[in-house]
Amino acid sequence: MGRALVSVTEGLAAVRARIDRAVAAAGREPGSVRLVAVSKRHPVEAIREAHAAGQRVFGESYAQELERKAAALSDLELEWRFIGHLQRNKAKVVVAAGAGVDSIDSPRLATAIHKRASADGVVVGVRIQVNVAGEAQKSGVATDALDALVDHVRGLDGLRLEGLMTIPPDGEPEDARPHFRALAALADRYELPVRSMGMSGDLEVAIAEGATEVRIGTAVFGQRPG
């Protein structure tokens, strides 16, 4: 999946073309899948280049890095999504950066973000991360605890629950299909519009299974440094 000697602008165009083909192949509405460009560990210049090429939504995985980049890019109009594991004591940083959070996985984390949002007088758009495969040691709420977490988040007025997110187990793209399908079924059950699923290697499978947002890093920006 490494991509050498290709600019961010070209990477972005290639990913948009892949998304458009997958949307068409699935018989879905053009424009029904949003691209989150995952810029973690890439420099702010790369984000500026993507922004100049029309990209507006960026995903980051580390609170301090998000804080730094949001400050450095405050002249641009863009949407930040926090997609990494979030510690409760970093809720303040992420809310202050104006980011949405895709990785809500516990009532305590949801409450921490709600408190910061309420203190700042904002409402944070969130998605619950679901461990659909039931992998040990993996981020995300277990499916049997999802019901209680959805109820909890819906009861917090500092949060707006928009959807679900998942990261399937490592494997071939096709191996991810049952997990994407399971996430889409859960989103249907709770009447949540956003299904954030699909990365550089498996976005086609995710779109075929109903992704409304794909989170793409490597195929847009190239291999992450370090």
What residues line the site for ligand PLP (CB under 6 A)? Answer: 38, 40, 61, 83-84, 167, 199-201, 215-219
Between 114 and 127, name the residue whose CB sits nearer to ligand PLP: 127
Q: Give the DSSP letter of residue 133.
A: T
Reference 202, options 226, 169, 225, 224; nearest CA is 169
State the burial class of residue 25 (Cβ atoms within 10 Å of its Cβ: 0-12, 13-18, 19+).
exposed
Q: How far is the CB of 196 from ligand PLP (least distance, A)?
A: 8
- Dihedral sign, Cα of residue 195, residue 84, residue 7, residue 56: positive
Between 38 and 141, name the residue whose CB sits nearer to ligand PLP: 38
Q: Give the integer Cα–Cα distance in Å for 180 and 52.
A: 32
Q: How far is the CB of 219 from ligand PLP (least distance, A)?
A: 6
Q: Give the integer Cα–Cα distance in Å for 211 and 201.
A: 14
Q: How far is the CB of 135 from ligand PLP (least distance, A)?
A: 14
Q: What angle do the packed helices 44-52 and 63-72 form, to 10 degrees? A: 60
Strands 100-104 and 57-60: unpaired
Using left for φ > 0, alpha for ψ between -120 and 50, and beta otherwise, residue 177 falls in alpha
Q: How far is the CB of 168 from ligand PLP (least distance, A)?
A: 11
Between 121 and 216, name the residue whose CB sits nearer to ligand PLP: 216
Between 55 and 61, name the residue whose CB sits nearer to ligand PLP: 61
Between 38 and 110, name the residue whose CB sits nearer to ligand PLP: 38
Q: How far is the CB of 103 from ligand PLP (least distance, A)?
A: 7
